[in-house]
Amino acid sequence: MFFDIPLLQIVLKIGIAILVFLVGRWLAGRLRLTLEKNLGKTKIAPSMARLLILAAYYGLMILVLIFALAIVGVPLQPMLTASFLIVVVLGFALQQSLSNLAATILFMLFEPFRVGELVEANGLLGTVKELQLLNTVLVTGDNKEVTIPNSKIQGNNLINYSRLGSLRAMFVFRVSYADDIAKVKAVLHDLIDPDERVMTEPPPIIFVQSLDENCVSISVRLMAKTEHYFPLLWDFPERVKLRFDAEGITMPYPQRDVHLHGRDAVGLLKE
């Protein structure tokens, strides 16, 4: 009994294609396990790691499928052309997503912020919860979770409050011209020196900032660690107000001297 040679070749090609597909699927599975193990040791967000793993797995599977079809006899050129056209169409349809992806890659390379840092991005202040493939997730001070496209962050100013480890808190207190400036400075030092949140290096700075129309403006500049910065901003002015009241230091309101002349002044005085 003799086999038909062309039929035998077709069966052989199909068998080889199936073998190639099975081996390729095994390799793709091994690649996915390896990526899961290694990406779990990095700082990459879990959602981004999952996307990278899926992209690598299915990308390899597509290549294996194309190679298997080519073994059976399906022309390779039309498949590559079709794949190229699909990529081009998706590129036009997903321009914004690609822009966000490019920003994500830059963030991963240069790390302008990390998970857990306090940043101001796109006009919002919050702690970085997660860097996703296309977005960044912030948690604001009032415990709201905000998702911002990475291209928006890249296109605006980004302020990182945590990176340097310390921040300068600046205050301006206005006192009367009748008050003793030396006493005002001494009172401020009495409030600052025992406060453990205030760093001694660089030392606090207290100086007359300006002589205004109705008051003398005293500037106070303090360095504090990032975790102490906002509590210091919130409670220091209240402590100064209470201490100024106890010491009899005046914090004046804006005022005007009005001078009346002529008949209108006399009539107004009679009334």
- The domain ranges of the chain are 5-93, 112-160, 166-247
Nearest Cα residue to 96 out of 133, 21, 151:
151
The answer, yes or no, to whether residue 119 has pLDDT greater than 70, is yes
As a whole number, mean pLDDT of residues 242-260 equals: 80
Angle at 213 between CA 209 and CA 214, to 5 degrees: 95
Q: What residues contact 20, with CB distance under 8 A and at least 6 apart? A: 64, 67, 68, 71
Q: Left, alpha or beta for 34 (phi > 0: left; psi -120 to 50: alpha)? A: alpha
Best CATH choice for the domain 5-93 from the list 3.40.50, 1.10.287, 2.40.128, 1.20.950 = 1.10.287
The answer, yes or no, to whether residue 28 has pLDDT greater than 80, is yes
CATH code for the domain defined by 112-160 = 2.30.30.60
Structure tokens at 44: 């990459």
**Res 1: pLDDT:** 45
Between CA 105 and CA 95 the distance in angstroms is: 15
- pTM equals 0.61
- Range with top average pLDDT, 42-46, 155-159, 265-269: 155-159
User: Which runs of E-coded beta strand occur in the chain?
Assistant: 118-121, 124-131, 135-140, 145-149, 158-160, 166-175, 205-211, 216-225
CATH code for the domain defined by 166-247 = 3.30.70.100
* Local confidence band at 267 (pLDDT 50, 70, 90 cut-offs): low
172-214 pLDDT, tens digit each: 999 999 999 999 999 999 999 999 999 988 899 999 999 988 8
Between CA 111 and CA 162 the distance in angstroms is: 13
The answer, yes or no, to whether residue 133 has pLDDT greater than 50, is yes
48-103 pLDDT, tens digit each: 677 677 778 878 888 888 888 788 777 766 766 766 666 666 555 555 677 887 88
Pair 92, 104: CB distance under 8 Å: no
As a whole number, mean pLDDT of residues 34-61 equals: 75
**Res 264: pLDDT:** 55
Between CA 244 and CA 212 the distance in angstroms is: 19
The answer, yes or no, to whether residue 31 has pLDDT greater than 50, is yes
Between CA 217 and CA 207 the distance in angstroms is: 9
Distance from CA of residue 35 to its chain's centroid? 26
The rounded percent of the chain whose pLDDT value lies above 90 is 37
CA distances from 58 to 34, 65, 79, 89 (A): 15, 10, 16, 19
